[in-house]
Structure 1
Amino acid sequence: MTDDRHPSLAPPAIPRGWKYRALKALFTWFGNRSNTTRLRLGKLLGGLSYRLVRPRARVARRNLEICFPELDAAARERLLRDHFHALAQSVVDRGVLWFAPPERVRELVSLSGYEENLKPLVAARQSCILLAPHFIALDAAASRLTMETPSGATMYSPQSDPDVDALVREGRARFNDVHLVNRRDGVRPLLRHVKAGRPLYYLPDMDFGRKGSLFVPFFGTPAATIPATAQLASTWKLPVLPIRGSWNPATGRYHIEVLPALADFPGEDGLEAATARINRMVEDWTRDMPSQYYWVHRRFKTRPPGEPGLY
């Protein structure tokens, strides 16, 4: 069978380096552990990363100061510890998502809203945007949804290490026909997938610099935000279905909700208003599960002209 995909989308050759083999063996080992053992590993690694990964801890601590000024320092530090625990658990659980048998994935990750909200669009070959902000259930949602949808596409930021990059790509493209679009190529390559009727799994809430971004509030602070969700939805008349993923620390399991398409989106008030609406949604979800947002990202890295840096 020939691969007619764009060269930047075609799967890379899998390296044979020791790092790739070691990482795959480690994640496969994670995937073969019991739920109880994985939870212990996540707690252990979370505690270690909180203490040892100091640059990321500083970024996350600063983000919490910006977004939760009403909390005292002790409360924010507890939230920071909980975040590193949740983040480490999501890494351990990729062993199940990427390498365990499919029935183990279904046991780990429950799914609701697919039948009524997404399946009819897939059956009609109607492309749509699956809006998936940066919560720790991000990979759980992607894996579980690709088990159900015959074909889909998502933007992907290549890892700097080719062995790590190959492992991540292999895991994320495991089920069915998944097209990974290099983020460096911009939004344009996504259009061929829109025309093919594929769902687009899109992450709306990263700071990619000043170019093309709008400064809209996130927890009351202007945050550089790419308005591509509203642009794609407006230009191609795409429904936008929020994907809400959460992790239950008590059970160690994830639940993914495919929510109904956003009503009247992007609306008549322009790109900035539509983009601010998405940020408000992400903020609301974050307040519901504050330890599970990706605080280790420098969400406020780019500042409006004349404003000092926040990190």
Structure 2
Amino acid sequence: MGGHASAEGKPPAATRAAAGQGMATRRGAPVMTRLIGWLWWLLLPIRKHLAVANYRQAFPDRDPGELRRTVGEMVMAYVHLLLGRRAVVEGVELLSGGGIIVAGHGTNWDIALISVGEQVPLTIFVKPPSNRLAAWAIERWRRAAGVELLPPHGSMAAAYDALDRGRCVVFVQDQRHNKGIAVPFFGRPALTSPAMAAMIWRTRRPVFGTWQWCDRGRYRVRVERLPWPVPDDRDEAIVELTARSQRFYEDRIRTAPHGWLWLHDRWKNAPPHCEDPLGEDPRGDGASSTGAPAPPAD
């Protein structure tokens, strides 16, 4: 798969040059990340006020300036994707038989999606970006990785078919769904799609969680099995499993708050109150909902 070593046991010059270039890119990434973050913060503050408000609600004791790193890492991840960078995926072998995946919008979301999609067949519901050039480029990257793209509405039959074909169906549950149900997310009601929970209840297929982060310039993804209990009653299962998806995100976001995209209006239009079907307060200790350690922060 790689280049053959020379007689002296050294990798060929092209391989050494590529490795050196990759190392240089990683070393320069923190500087570029900070620069991009400051440009957004001072000159192009798109959704800055919304992001700061969201961040302060969830983490009143933290500095909202950490959001500069959020935007910087997001932009640099697409630069690295363009340069061919990929993430190291831990636990990808768990997905070999297909199943249902809970995934979220970390700052290096597309690198994670494409890195997993190049190793196992993925099907995902997507809403293209409003920018036509960005939408074209991202769709091209995703399809080249073998990721099957479904429109966000009217595609559940195709998703069930994908599951029957042994593919992994990916649900990204950390964005607002205006026709969804209200469950707690960082202590506030958040409208969330019930479609993932309905599929879990109907099929009883394995459920996996994926999360991604950047570790000193290297992208990483962790896959884990989520042994969520499934109530027999459908309505109860829908609410409980949807709430578990939000607890999954919350536990991981708490380990590295800058690593999630706070720029979405996640809590808009939700009712002022909702019950916690899990009957627990958010722990806030960074523990995984499965008991496994959460990804480390940088």
Provide the residue aligned with 1:133 in structure 2: 104
Matches of 1:247 and 1:267, distance apart in 2: 39
User: 1:223-244 CA distances to partner (integer Å, 9 max, x unpaired)?
Assistant: 1111221111111222110002
In the alignment, which of 153, 157, 182 is matched to residue 184 of structure 1? 153
- Structure-2 change in CA distance of 1:231 and 1:187 (3 Å): same
Matches of 1:91 and 1:50, distance apart in 2: 19
Is 1:113 equivalent to 2:91 in the alignment? yes
Give the superposed CA RMSD: 2.5
Number of residue pairs aligned between Structure 1 and Structure 2: 252
User: 1:44-69 CA distances to partner (integer Å, 9 max, x unpaired)?
Assistant: 21221122332411111010122123
Aligned AA (1:76): D
In the alignment, which of 233, 252, 263 is matched to residue 200 of structure 2? 233
Is 1:270 equivalent to 2:237 in the alignment? yes
Matches of 2:102 and 2:183, distance apart in 1: 18
The answer to whether the Cα contact below 8 Å between 1:137 and 1:245 also exists between their aligned partners in 2 is yes
In the alignment, which of 208, 212, 229 is matched to residue 245 of structure 1? 212
What percentage of aligned pairs have identical amino acids?
25
Offset at residue 202 of structure 1 (A): 1.8
- Greater length-normalized contact order (CA 8 Å, ≥ 6 residues apart): 1
Is 1:282 equivalent to 2:244 in the alignment? no
**Gap regions ≥5 residues in structure 2:** 1-20, 275-298
Is 1:224 equivalent to 2:211 in the alignment? no
Provide the residue aligned with 1:91 in structure 2: 78
In the alignment, which of 131, 139, 144 is matched to residue 169 of structure 1? 139
The answer to whether the Cα contact below 8 Å between 1:155 and 1:183 also exists between their aligned partners in 2 is yes
Matches of 2:197 and 2:260, distance apart in 1: 22
Provide the residue aligned with 1:258 in structure 2: 223
Matches of 2:197 and 2:35, distance apart in 1: 41
Map 1:36-55; keep pairs closer than 5 Å.
Answer: 36-55=27-46
Matches of 2:103 and 2:196, distance apart in 1: 11
- Structure-2 change in CA distance of 1:137 and 1:162 (3 Å): closer
TM-score (norm 1): 0.74
- Structure-2 change in CA distance of 1:188 and 1:59 (3 Å): farther
Q: Comparing both structures, which one devotes a greater share of its residues to helix?
A: 1
Q: Report SS of the residue matched to 1:288.
A: coil
Of 161-170 and 56-65, the range deviating more from structure 2: 161-170
Offset at residue 280 of structure 1 (A): 1.2
Q: Report SS of the residue matched to 1:183.
A: coil
Aligned AA (1:185): G
